[in-house]
Structure 1
């Protein structure tokens, strides 16, 4: 049965997911939202025939898997009666001739560890979203897999006949497999694989060395940071929400969505988390992506999600040929959210850009023109702060004046006032401060429910929503304010189940939620720490860390009864929660060093 105990490898242009048996079960090319050439994760079959790349041990009895520490290099070991073997998987990423080398290439190194393991190689990509099998042609040490719009080339020192025929053979010496574009590989394949691995390991070690880590939970933070980095599309600066599509939020729920795109909301949280660790390159790249989007909008509507190449029309469709994860369809490509009106997007845009005006480490300097473009987004935020929308949870069948949307509209105006002060635009400071104050007064009046003794999900509403916990995170309200303290208590009472937390209590388009939305659980412990319940927050954080899979990663949701992971994977929101929680709760370095 498929699970989300999957390792992720990538190089900031594409990624692949690998199961505990060492099978590549998901990989989209030539980029995150491209054709899933390896797609057995959503084929609906326990032992799929197509859409995977496996190194099969004939008498497999046991597996183990881990990352090479502080890298995105995955190591899988397979054990059987005939012997044991090791598979090393990675996507090359390193500096080459003064620029980043990040080809759409997967490298697999296989070596025997003991005995004489008998293996077979099954390389079965499909094309056109699983509807076309490739045409295969062979060379002396390579195989071409040709589809309608993409050709892959496998270069290997394994016997070509055995790979083509999937013949079982003795693994008596190390083998290398380089799968990528249809280009001739210069040099010996084993030497190339070894050099690529060494250089890639050195890159990741250097990148991790530059992180400003909390004293506690460093291993968890490092894995979260690397995972977030892998979800960035470096050529444009976009940041995807997750690597997969259509992993259900809950069993047989129909809540299956395509998350391989850049939500401006999620991207802001990723940028801020990585900034908190001292790595700012992601913010620089994302700022360029963001400002192009703002310029395209020309002061008008901003949609909440874009393709990694800034594509605006992410038309949603259902792929009937895929049965879905564990047979739980539908499988969707594209996302209808691109049509939504989600007014929090204006705040997320300005929050995502704000730090670059203040951080002196940044090589690029934002201009007055950039500020004027952000002001256009701010005008939209002010105009729409009390207008109905789909909200941050992207409700498809109703609209309300959502508190979280109005909150982010306030944040847009508030941050513009700060930026204006920073760059000496004195007249604009008062302009944006007045608007922020006006929105704040309205939220405090309209979003507070005397009946519930809490800030609620919409103006004049009476249902609870975990998103109001962000009030302190964006600096809207003092965490010790009695109204906020009461809100936290009410949310714990009605939305929490042990360490877990639902997004909201009201039924949505698909009924009442049944699984914990992981980022909400992290928002809760952050709120607890801010209001003075830090010991409780630490206990919750330790418990949440235990819900990660064996490789230290989280999906979107966790089932509060089974503890199983659901939703798209790996989810950037959830990995952000790990970083933020550790930084909020860790003992200071000064107390122990």
Structure 2
């Protein structure tokens, strides 16, 4: 039974590792022992020769298959049903609170609990791990009657099961006379040898996720979409440090067959701000506190310059290497690991970093163990934003060959100074407030004057340019201009006319270093929705919102891009940016 090559995947994770599970129950993508580690299963990136972990009936044509999540949980159920037998695969990665309730147990482990509902189904297990970034499959060595060991990088993978390892390694048919399990772990084997122990871990994991959802603030509408988006985002927060990855995958192409294939398994400061901001709206404060702790260490360690992205441990991201042995998703090569955006100059990062810290000073519910140290970060970020404001950069869209005075970058430098002023005022720090306030006024005047294009009747992508850019729709949301200002209304109108194609927004439509964009960038449609909502055009905004929700996969997950001609999800998956935007737009639309 072959996995689908669409993005109809489910995501399971626990804040340390994530896996993608196909509609037929195959684990087609997994890195261990962390998000950024080498592949264990890579079939997602090479459907013919990639590695995977499949569980299938001996006669698959006699079964129907249905997939769903447990209610308000990240436990995924794949249900196989026929007239003579039925079984369910419960896929999960264990997570629950430990000690004082402020930390979670998140080991690099994956569990597959197979529950027999009736009959005696026959299955075959396909267990084909890789030993790292290499074309060959790892050898599967039987350690004892319950355990299979395989090498991976400089360590080992262990598969513990109550099924005979001989039958798994030999791909022999297995008749299920009762429930069985398979637990995959890194470093050492799990010590669960009876089904009751697996059920207990499943119950505890479900309870964790459902309790986490119960403590979310939710509006009356769009609760299902908000919950699934929030649960998806939570899986992408690296529990040990608080870092937030942009997506758990690498090299899923923006355009099928194209070369816009990037590694998103890192922490972009920009994306992370949007994530913690969305979760704050749901009354999730620990995520902000943990990310600020991660971010402040980076800021203090780099007093003169911030990169746009870092590893989940806060180190520099490696530059790109190509994995030429993989054919790529839908044949889209190259498959990349590492990201050259680490070499870019992106001045918007100072605004996003400061916005991430801002709630610590203005929201009494957010706890800061060392506000004096964080104030040092604020001073550093504001001064850097002022210093970098006159410079050209690569912009929000990371256009590597074309530094310019991009409007969004200037906007975010202003945001850093604006929020710095507000923090200084609240803390009664008069000297920095007076200095920064003068700069804030001058920067705002320059942006509103230089980014406005009279001929185009819109704020444009860069100073003095004619090209439109969807990121300008964030101007009222970030507070530099009123949403009903005539210039903003004109920008919204022009953007909708020129950047929206078949109901979906492009980032821009001008050439970049790789040619013309071909697919819609999903978050940009949400930005239009938010701008319409704030400007009093809520009916139109709601129509766009509900149209956009229809593109989600069967489990409610979204990627980075959508092909407006086919409705196909493209780009890395699931994309934090997109699920952030679902929460933000839903919350805004439901406000009175």
RMSD: 1.4
Given the alignment, which residue of 160, 166, 179 partners 1:161?
A: 166
Cross-structure match for 2:40:
37
8 Å contact 1:59–1:80 — kept in the other structure?
no
Superposed CA deviations along residues 485-539 of structure 1, whole A, max 9, x for unmatched, are 0000000000002331000121111111111100000000000011111011111
Unaligned runs of 5+ in 2: none
Task: Tell me, yes or no, if structure 1 residue 523 matches structure 2 residue 527.
Answer: yes
Superposed CA deviations along residues 424-456 of structure 1, whole A, max 9, x for unmatched, are 212222221111111111011110001100000
Task: Tell me, yes or no, if structure 1 residue 495 matches structure 2 residue 526.
Answer: no
Measure how far apart 1:58 and its partner are. Answer: 1.9
Cross-structure match for 2:56:
56
Cross-structure match for 2:74:
72
- The alignment partner of 2:56 has SS state of strand
Cross-structure match for 1:245:
250
Distance, in Å, in 2 between the alignment partners of 1:185 and 1:225 is 29
Measure how far apart 1:396 and its partner are. Answer: 1.5
Cross-structure match for 2:551:
547
Question: Comparing 545-554 with 579-588, which one deviates more in the overlay?
Answer: 579-588
Cross-structure match for 1:431:
435
Cross-structure match for 1:84:
86
Unaligned runs of 5+ in 1: 589-593
Measure how far apart 1:355 and its partner are. Answer: 0.6
- The alignment partner of 2:330 has SS state of helix
Cross-structure match for 1:574:
578
Cross-structure match for 1:150:
155
Measure how far apart 1:187 and its partner are. Answer: 4.7
Please identify runs of 4+ aligned residues in structure 1 that moved more than 6 A.
none
8 Å contact 2:267–2:312 — kept in the other structure?
yes
Task: Tell me, yes or no, if structure 1 residue 283 matches structure 2 residue 283.
Answer: no
Superposed CA deviations along residues 52-77 of structure 1, whole A, max 9, x for unmatched, are 11111122233110000100000001
Distance, in Å, in 1 between the alignment partners of 2:108 and 2:231 is 18
Distance, in Å, in 1 between the alignment partners of 2:244 and 2:188 is 28
8 Å contact 1:60–1:80 — kept in the other structure?
no
Measure how far apart 1:81 and its partner are. Answer: 6.2
Superposed CA deviations along residues 307-365 of structure 1, whole A, max 9, x for unmatched, are 11112142111110111001111100000000000110111110111111122122334
Question: Comparing 461-470 with 382-391, which one deviates more in the overlay?
Answer: 382-391
Cross-structure match for 1:18:
21
Distance, in Å, in 2 between the alignment partners of 1:185 and 1:339 is 41
Given the alignment, which residue of 159, 176, 182 partners 2:181?
A: 176
8 Å contact 2:359–2:366 — kept in the other structure?
no
8 Å contact 2:360–2:367 — kept in the other structure?
no
Given the alignment, which residue of 332, 346, 351 partners 1:347?
A: 351
Structure 1 segment 332-411 matched on structure 2, within 5 A: 332-411=336-415
Distance, in Å, in 2 between the alignment partners of 1:189 and 1:130 is 34
Distance, in Å, in 2 between the alignment partners of 1:246 and 1:278 is 33
Normalised to the residue count of structure 2, the TM-score between the two structures is 0.96
Distance, in Å, in 1 between the alignment partners of 2:399 and 2:84 is 54
Superposed CA deviations along residues 12-48 of structure 1, whole A, max 9, x for unmatched, are 0111110000000011111111011111000142xx4
Cross-structure match for 1:325:
329
- The alignment partner of 1:583 has SS state of helix
Task: Tell me, yes or no, if structure 1 residue 141 matches structure 2 residue 143.
Answer: no
Task: Tell me, yes or no, if structure 1 residue 199 matches structure 2 residue 204.
Answer: yes
8 Å contact 2:106–2:239 — kept in the other structure?
no
Distance, in Å, in 1 between the alignment partners of 2:13 and 2:378 is 33
Indicate how the Cα distance of structure 1 residues 13 and 458 shifts in structure 2: closer, same or farther if over 3 A, else same.
same
Distance, in Å, in 2 between the alignment partners of 1:186 and 1:63 is 31
8 Å contact 2:159–2:189 — kept in the other structure?
no
Measure how far apart 1:262 and its partner are. Answer: 0.4
Measure how far apart 1:244 and its partner are. Answer: 0.4
| Number of residue pairs aligned between Structure 1 and Structure 2 | 584
- The alignment partner of 1:113 has SS state of strand
8 Å contact 1:294–1:374 — kept in the other structure?
no
8 Å contact 2:257–2:330 — kept in the other structure?
no
8 Å contact 2:135–2:326 — kept in the other structure?
no
8 Å contact 1:82–1:118 — kept in the other structure?
no
Cross-structure match for 1:534:
538
- The alignment partner of 1:543 has SS state of helix
Given the alignment, which residue of 223, 240, 260 partners 1:255?
A: 260
Measure how far apart 1:587 and its partner are. Answer: 5.8
- The alignment partner of 1:327 has SS state of coil
Distance, in Å, in 2 between the alignment partners of 1:363 and 1:406 is 30
Question: Comparing 81-90 with 477-486, which one deviates more in the overlay?
Answer: 81-90
Distance, in Å, in 2 between the alignment partners of 1:148 and 1:368 is 42
Cross-structure match for 1:591:
none
Measure how far apart 1:82 and its partner are. Answer: 5.4
Cross-structure match for 2:416:
412
Task: Tell me, yes or no, if structure 1 residue 220 matches structure 2 residue 225.
Answer: yes
Cross-structure match for 2:122:
118
8 Å contact 1:60–1:79 — kept in the other structure?
no
8 Å contact 1:57–1:80 — kept in the other structure?
no
8 Å contact 1:215–1:587 — kept in the other structure?
no
